[in-house]
Amino acid sequence: MSAVDVPATGGVSGSIITELKNFPNNAPHDISIGGERWLKTGLMETNPAKFDAYLWRWSVGTYWQPINVLGSVRVLDIASNGAGIVIAILPGGMYSRSADGGKTFSGSTPLPNGGNEVMAIEWVSAFGLFIVVGRSGVILTSTDGQAFQSRSSGTSASLQTICWTGAVLVIGGDSKTIVTSINGINYTPKVVNITANYNAFYQIVHFDGKILALAESHTNGSAISADNGATWSMVTVDASVSTAIHGGVHDGEKFVAVFSGSRVATSVNGTDWTVTAMTVSSVYSGSKLIFDAGQYWASSASGGRIAKSEDLAIWRDFDIDFYTASPGTGSRVKKTGGQYWAMGTSAGLYRGNVEPYAGWPVAISAYGAEVTFNGQSAYARVS
């Protein structure tokens, strides 16, 4: 199956749109319009506002390929350098390395962390380093994912999450701890002055010079900085409940946070928040909320599923794998090195959209259709 370019704008009229059915086994899954062949690159949905129109739209996360990492071992976190090297963090201070983009992993190797559990890993291209953080202030770095070097964090707090802002590396941890670095080698710890007695920063989000540290307690425990982490101010995301924030992102217009209790919060400035209910049962601790291709993704409370939304108003549970057993209760979703990954809470690792034509629903034939493509969606009106 070869891809066919689709014009960015404009419409083309033709006599037939070929029948698209029996996915994902039927190829090439293309559309014939006036003698041209357009590749169908997305899910087909009926447009409820126009009963005679059909919408073809690319949707991330439509297909997930199971990856074997030491059988049923749980993957805690994963990172890719975008050049074929992928590191999967495993329980017990271990890791597994892939040199083929995550298709295969070779064994497990102990990290030089003194037996402390590792919590998170990221590839920071500005430093050319994999950054690994964990319990008791552990920070490790590696250029190739083979040899790791210990770095001094200056703290004994457990470190949970990593974010490169483009100017500074920010690491969030337990006990109100933030650790920063401008080179990936030297690190400076800070205890943020917030009123919560004990607080863990689960995710760091940045946009336009602001750094938001989302916390275990969103009643009075999150914090925001406008000076590269030098000073922080307390942020109350939702004063009505005390359950934990599990994931956050900036979508180019606003900060977004999801948390247990089926709630989602949004803020333009990172300080003033609006909270609404989610239409899924819950999201899980450690969920890496991501925003990509116009869609939000978070882990769902349903076994082997993740939740997605396009507008934050409607959320749907979504299977991460159509053909094999569930990887566990809930899944943590992440994008790294241009690749989507889902990690089960008990076991299982899945690569997303390995074959983007797979996982499509049954479609229909349409005759005498006019098709318009606006860069993201192709609309076909049946005449």
| Tens-level pLDDT at each residue, the chain (383 residues) | 222 233 333 333 333 333 333 333 333 333 333 333 333 333 344 333 333 333 333 344 555 677 877 776 788 899 999 999 999 999 889 999 999 999 899 888 999 876 678 889 999 999 999 999 999 999 999 999 999 999 999 999 999 999 999 999 999 999 889 999 999 999 999 998 877 655 788 889 999 999 999 887 655 578 999 999 999 998 888 766 666 677 889 999 999 988 776 788 899 999 999 988 877 766 665 567 888 877 788 776 555 567 778 788 877 766 554 333 344 444 578 889 888 888 876 667 888 765 443 333 333 334 334 444 444 434 443 33
pLDDT of residue 267: 94
CA distance 138 to 156: 8
Residue 377 located in a structural domain: yes
Residue 373 located in a structural domain: yes
Residue 23 located in a structural domain: yes
Residue 39 located in a structural domain: yes
The three-state (H, E, C) secondary structure of 125-148, written as one string: CCCCEEEEEEHHHCEEEECCCCCC
pLDDT of residue 126: 97
pLDDT of residue 347: 66
pLDDT of residue 2: 27
Contact by Cβ (8 Å): 212, 172: no
pLDDT of residue 145: 95
pLDDT of residue 343: 82
CA distance 153 to 173: 11
Measured at the alpha carbon of residue 301, what is the angle toward residues 299 and 304, in degrees to the nearest 5?
70
Residue 38 located in a structural domain: yes
**Residue range(s) defining the domain that contains residue 371:** 11-58+359-382
Instruction: Tell me the β-bridge partners of 201.
Output: 215
pLDDT digits (tens, 9 = 90+) for 17-53: 333 333 333 333 333 333 333 333 333 443 333 333 3
Residue 345 located in a structural domain: no
Contacts of residue 225, defined as CB under 8 A and 6 or more positions apart, other chains included, come to 210, 211, 213, 231, 232, 233
CA distance 230 to 194: 15
Residue 236 located in a structural domain: no
Report pTM: 0.75
pLDDT of residue 81: 96
Query: Total domain count for the chain?
Result: 1
Structure-token match 């590792």, residue found: 118
Residue 153 located in a structural domain: no
pLDDT of residue 371: 41
pLDDT of residue 83: 94
Task: Report which of 286, 283, 278, 295 is spatially closest to residue 352, judged by C-alpha positions.
Answer: 295
pLDDT of residue 284: 60
Q: Cβ–Cβ contacts within 10 Å for residue 74, how many?
A: 19
